[in-house]
Chain A
Amino acid sequence: MPSGAGQYRTVPVGAREDGRPTLYSRYARRYARLVTMSTTAPAHPLQDVTASDGTLRRFLHGLPGVDAVGLEARAASLGTRSIKTTAKAYALDLAISMVDLTTLEGADTPGKVRALGAKAVRPDPTDRTTPSTAAVCVYPDLVAVAKEAVAGSGVKVASVATAFPAGRAALSVKLADVREAVAAGADEVDMVIDRGAFLAGRYLKVYDEIVAVKEACGPHARLKVIFETGELSTYDNIRRASWLAMLAGADFIKTSTGKVAVNATPANTLLMLEAVRDFRAATGVQVGVKPAGGIRTAKDAIKFLVLVNETAGADWLDPHWFRFGASSLLNDLLMQRQKLATGRYSGPDYVTVD
């Protein structure tokens, strides 16, 4: 049993409060006999489901199906909460501190990345009580520039890697991409999974790739795994991808690249939040969540924070465990913050043009 599991609100692994085995330990036990046991004891009860393609597929397909209507209704009903006054002020500051300020364009220049870094460190120069954002997110070749721009602040540098956004490259190329980014100083690596392999049912290939990338990240860089939920077609697939990535050692699971039509939605984020909650209940390992793309207004961001609090719990209401991948969101958050501070509606003339 992993140390620290008891401090959470979950019951010890392998037993529920009523004494019956938990859902996931039942899966683990069912498949345990199908695999060749390794000589070392598994770190957590789900370790051995990844022993072969067959066991992994059976585990992932054995996950409970998603009630799509119920999921969307739940996400929609949580979006109706009214967050006002001091709670809103808290939520806006929290949301700002969770932003991964992102620029992922072919036309990115060192100058633009430096400007972005300056903005991440001090989002609102007119109000120094504004918190810094969590990170800046850039392409690997601009990591060094970004690192320099945020030097001395607490802002992290995240880099997309592994042939972002398509992920269609040989593993060696992807790993080289990751190593370059980490060597340049990236604190976080955002990788994309091989959706082609995932949709073809070759889960172990996806798993092995994530494990390899995690290894290439080294001991310090945190790994975010992007599913591109818009390309996974079903909620069941999103749930499977979430478990697959968490089993492979992801530090964060992230919805999308922001490069396709459907990006982060409240429903798919809610589903992933349920997955990280259940994963921690089963293994004691906490994994972060990052919705990315399509979140443009402060109102949307606050809806996501409500989802986090009501689904995963307050433990995730921290930039270490929850992020927004966004670029235009920050400006709206700042304008709302100015409105709260002054009582006057602000305008786009009072924030930077990105």
Chain B
Amino acid sequence: MSDTSEKTGNTGNAGKTGSTGNPGKTGSTGKIEKTGRTGKAGKTERLSVFKTYKLYVGGKFPRSESGRVYEVTDSQGKWLANAPLASRKDARDAVVAARKAFGAWSGATAYNRGQILYRIAEMLEGRREQFAREVADAEGLSGSEAAAVVDATIDRWVWYAGWTDKIAQVVGGGNPVAGPFFNLSTPEPTGVVAVLAPQESSFLGLVSVVAPVIATGNTAVVVASERRPLPALSLGEVLATSDLPGGVVNVLSGRTAEIAAPLAAHQDVNAIDLAGADEELAKELEIAAADNLKRVLRPRPVDYSAVPGIERMTAFLETKTVWHPTGSLGASGSSY
């Protein structure tokens, strides 16, 4: 920190630059600092650098098309930052980006997808402190509890990274049939999936619903937790530097009900995960989703710290079965 005086100018006497205080308390979480230090000789004053949280759409970080923001507070009601209040047009743009990314992402080899998911875990590992702080602020956890949540989240990425090239063996395979055919079933991604992230578990819950969607080759439009969106928006920065192609994951923040309605009715969205919707909203969205036969994953109580199983992956997979004629395979009439 001793070189900050070069950037901000040294207002005190030139001899000492001095410490600029605890960077962990200011900086990226954007806590309000009333004023700088009262400028005693020998001390430098440093302006607070607030972070502008932005959406993550198509690999870019736009503000909301509507220009709106809303105040995000911690569990005690203290202001943390302004987050973009996304509109239905942001949702539309995100679906376009997700659709554009779908071809290449679903066509990538499962092995490659696994590498990229593992890369996300690597990038997160380097920013553990930041995420621990954001999770602690958002969910009102102590430092060590938040750190444990972040570690579990990183492990969750690794867990799904391993699954990318194994899920096909579990849910696909050769089927025994009564005829001279090879009969092969392979899982294929459903398409663009709208994901309403859990409202309470802002980071572990978020990753637990996003990772299974993209691990199998879908692309996602994620609506972050309404009151706790900051870890999700920061995750966008990690995804952007993790070899994940732009548009595979798009993160929106704002009023869940406002963004979810156009997504549920959107004709170019193939599935919707309602994890972050309450009962009333979930019913409404499921009705809207029926119009183009979206796959719907209904909300239910989940313990995100437990081993997740493969249900969230299989929820957004289609099964393609191919009958390939083999002809007679021998005098005995045996077949595969």
Contact = CB atoms under 8 A, between A and B. Distances in A.
Interface stretch (B3-11, B28-36, B123-131, B264-272): B264-272
Interface stretch (A235-243, A318-326, A339-347): A339-347
B259 to A, nearest CB: 12
Contact of A343 (B99, B265, B268, B269): B265
B95 interface: yes
A272 to B, nearest CB: 31
A347 B265 contact: no
Contact of A349 (B95, B262, B267, B291): B267
A348 B265 CA distance: 15
Interface in B279-316: 291
Interface residues of B, number: 10
B255 interface: no
A296 to B, nearest CB: 12
Contacts of B166: none
A350 interface: yes
A347 B292 CA distance: 11
A260 B133 CA distance: 53
A30 B265 CA distance: 66
B92 interface: yes
A345 B265 contact: yes
Contacts of B99: 347-348
Interface residues of A, number: 9
A344 B268 CA distance: 10
Contacts, number: 27
A341 to B, nearest CB: 12
A345 B291 contact: no
B265 A349 contact: no
Interface in A325-354: 338, 343-350
Nearest to A350: B267
A344 B265 CA distance: 6
A89 B265 CA distance: 21
A345 B266 CA distance: 5
Contacts of A347: 95, 99, 266-269
Nearest to B265: A344
A343 B88 CA distance: 12
Nearest to A345: B266
Contacts of B92: 345
A42 B130 CA distance: 81
B264 to A, nearest CB: 9
Nearest to B288: A344
B269 to A, nearest CB: 8
B167 to A, nearest CB: 26
Contact of B95 (A338, A343, A345, A350): A345
Q: Among A344, A349, A350, find the residue whose CB has the most chain B CB atoms closer than 10 A.
A: A344
Contacts of B267: 338, 344-347, 349-350
Nearest to A344: B265
Interface string B241-269: 00000000000000000000010011111
A79 to B, nearest CB: 16
Nearest to A348: B268
Contacts of A346: 267-268
Given A349-B267, A350-B267, A344 B95 contact: no
Nearest to B95: A345
A345 B262 CA distance: 7
Q: Among A338, A346, A347, A349, find the residue whose CB has the most chain B CB atoms closer than 10 A.
A: A347
17 contacts: A338-B267, A344-B262, A344-B265, A344-B266, A344-B267, A345-B95, A345-B265, A345-B266, A345-B268, A346-B268, A347-B95, A347-B99, A347-B267, A347-B269, A348-B99, A349-B267, A349-B268
**Which 3 A/B pairs are nearest by Cβ-Cβ distance?**
A347-B268, A344-B265, A345-B266
Given A345-B266, A345-B268, 14 more contacts: A344-B262, A344-B265, A344-B266, A344-B267, A345-B92, A345-B262, A345-B265, A346-B267, A346-B268, A347-B99, A347-B266, A347-B267, A348-B99, A349-B267
Interface of B: 92, 95, 99, 262, 265-269, 291
Interface of A: 338, 343-350
